[in-house]
Structure 1
Amino acid sequence: MKFTPLLSAFFLGALTLTAQAATFTVEKTAPGGAIVKIDGQFFTELVVDQANKPYLWPIIGAGGVTMTRAFPMKVIEGEQHDHPHQRGLTFGHEGIGGYDSWAEPSTFAENKNGKYDERIKHLGAIKLQTLKDIQEGDTASFTTVSDYVDADGKKILEEVRQYTFKVVGDTRLIDVNLDLIATEGDTLVDDKKDSGLSIRIPTEMAVEKEKKEKGTGHIINSNGDIDADAWAKRATWCDYYGTVGGKAVGVAMLNHPKSFRHPTPWHVRTYGLFTANPFGLKALDPTSESGAMTLKKGEKISLRHRFIFHLGNEKDAKIAEAYADYAKEP
């Protein structure tokens, strides 16, 4: 078959696009979790048997850079070893139905004079029941169904969480759509500071490390609030960027307009915690009304977020433009 120059260019272009397309696979793990790979290379793992809640860890971002702190899963010299409950990318809430899935027993290892006795009594858990609807190909996705339980293992409510994994150019994306459903009866969702969808970024990328040591990082939100000034502010997106292993990288979290209490307040800390918290309105801002609410049986709260793991800062990654596109998605 003879090709004209135009046809040859078309077929060569098609081959180039095919070669550049990512192929995702999802491998179930024995404890009930899953490993996500891109073109056979590790991207992240859903870990379900190491804490009182599931989490993604580690996450390999743009440029092959690990974008999550290793602690407490691994102890690495030079990392901060605070807040052991801040594991990878996860969700937790200090007060749903009176129980805490944000903290875990190791959070209160130093319980001097019984300071945390009351909070320890109210530690709950998020227990994965089902991992289903696995999709592979040019994107990957799966859905988890979990029970929120009290200290005795009694179910409080149900959570349905969908993860979607994508590659767009040189960025890697994770969408997290999470529904909290009052399946067991009327349930109090309290106003708490320590609540929401979180990622703990690498220590090197923090704005400040231990003893006020300067890190390489910066925080900026959609309103232009920077570093510590971004804490507790409402914004449509927030970005945490810096240098890890000599590479300029970052992670942005976008808050979809259909998400609960959009635009969300950000519980984002200069030491490396990065959380979207639409629950703790008064806990984050004493001048605000309380965010406490009672979900009636059968009602739900829907959270919709996108994580973008990118090179450079928020301008290099065009996060404002990426948010505009995300906001148009149903």
Structure 2
Amino acid sequence: MKAKILFGALVLSAAFMGCGQPQPGQTQSGQTDRFSFVEHPESSRIDVLLDGQPYTSYCYADSLKKPVLYPLRTKGGHFITRGWPAQPRANERTDHPHHIGLWFNYGDVNGLDFWNNSPAIPAEKRMGYGSIHHAAANSMEADGNTGRLHVTKYWQGPQGDGLLKEDTRYVFQVDDGGNTSIELDIKLTALRDVSLKDNKEGVLGIRLARELEHPSNEPAKFTDANGIVTEVAQTNNQVVTGHYISSEGAEGDDVWGTRAKWVTLNGTLEGEDLSLVILDHAGNPGYPTYWHARGYGLFAANPLGQQALSDGKDVLNFKLDKDASTRFRYKILIHAGSKLDAAAINNQLVEFSGQP
């Protein structure tokens, strides 16, 4: 069993070769643009630099089964996202190999599972899974405190049959205090009639660093400093500081399966206080979204899985006819050095969504 786990981790790590390891860029004297982009087609990634230093990378190797932003960092350079399986760090969970960085996909598209797909899926089971393939980086622009990356992707079945075209604009911003945000503006266009049946696995997800999990006493598998997996009977919560709070007042594990306009995850990373916030947009299907937020480190907004997340009280079963389009918009706030209160987050929501 240990050999199988180790082999799987090696496969996943190989899929990430070079991703999350951008090199510092060169900042020209007098340059005012804070963000810059460096393409590495040989490694299937685009590095996003902030003031010439690594901020995140857009990683799109087909072996990953979906493009992701990885890793996410605070202004102090601390990792918000889990390192495993790409760059394992000590005391990390080794569950859910498809949880990597920041991503957008879904668990049931015409019966295919895009959410759970990863290189760890056995060959004999791959016909039940879909994958998202990067097609083009259409533009990369920097303007003062803002950087923009526009990409096109295709959602495909296991035999390469197209289901959806995705056009996504990532907007990266930084304020004078060094706090950052990432906006996603996603347009999905159906290449055939598409059904996104209610499913709890979706849609916008972030897999968190160990420090941002909720405390737990359950047994689990963890890495050591060398990336070796060990099973422990009871988890060590010494560094665990995460706590969810929703716009509707739900807290902790009670956020799961509830609707809210935003959820903040408060915690501390190596002495640096942090609020990581996901804002929903009033124009999104299923607004306000349900939250698939788990204490073990999955932070996800899912407006499409209503029946699964409401215990049958709501049903959506979202559909797109051929050539029809829909739009999803989200904003992730990375506020480090202090924790945001509800009033400050609501102000951000009004600015982003136009509604309180």
Range into which the TM-score falls when normalised by the shorter chain: 0.7 to 0.9
Aligned position for 2:203: 196
CA distance in 2, matches of 1:21, 1:166: 14
Q: How far does residue 78 in structure 1 lie from its aligned partner after superposition? A: 0.6
Alpha-carbon distance change, 257 to 98 in structure 1, aligned in 2, over 3 angstroms: same
What amino acid does structure 1 have at the position aligned with 2:188? L
Matches within 5 A, 1:200-239: 200-209=207-216, 211=218, 213-214=236-237, 215-239=240-264
State which of 98, 122, 125 in structure 1 corresponds to 2:128: 122
Contiguous gaps of at least 5 residues in structure 2: 1-29, 219-234
Spell out, residue by residue over 1:250-269, the C-alpha distance to the aligned partner (whole angstroms, 9 max, x if none).
21000111122211111111
Identity %: 27
Q: How far does residue 137 in structure 1 lie from its aligned partner after superposition? A: 2.8
What amino acid does structure 2 have at the position aligned with 1:93? Y
CA distance in 1, matches of 2:138, 2:68: 16
CA distance in 2, matches of 1:317, 1:42: 31
Aligned position for 2:300: 275
Aligned position for 1:156: 163
- 2:63 pairs with 1:27: no
Normalised to the residue count of structure 1, the TM-score between the two structures is 0.86
Q: How far does residue 22 in structure 1 lie from its aligned partner after superposition? A: 5.6
Query: What is the root-mean-square deviation in Å for CA atoms of aligned residues?
Result: 2.3
CA distance in 2, matches of 1:148, 1:161: 13
CA distance in 2, matches of 1:178, 1:251: 21
Matches within 5 A, 1:1-330: 23-30=34-41, 31-49=43-61, 50-106=63-119, 108=121, 120-138=126-144, 139-170=146-177, 171-183=179-191, 185-209=192-216, 211=218, 213-214=236-237, 215-311=240-336, 312-315=338-341, 318-328=344-354
Secondary structure of 1:121's match?
Answer: helix
Normalised to the residue count of structure 2, the TM-score between the two structures is 0.80
* Alignment length (residue pairs): 304
What amino acid does structure 2 have at the position aligned with 1:156? L
CA distance in 2, matches of 1:301, 1:122: 24
Asked if structure 1 preserves the Cα contact closer than 8 Å seen for 2:108 and 2:197, the reply is yes
CA distance in 1, matches of 2:340, 2:236: 23
CA distance in 1, matches of 2:129, 2:202: 14
Secondary structure of 1:91's match?
Answer: strand
CA distance in 1, matches of 2:216, 2:86: 19
Q: Is the radius of gyration larger for structure 1 or structure 2?
A: 1
Alpha-carbon distance change, 105 to 86 in structure 1, aligned in 2, over 3 angstroms: closer
Secondary structure of 1:63's match?
Answer: coil
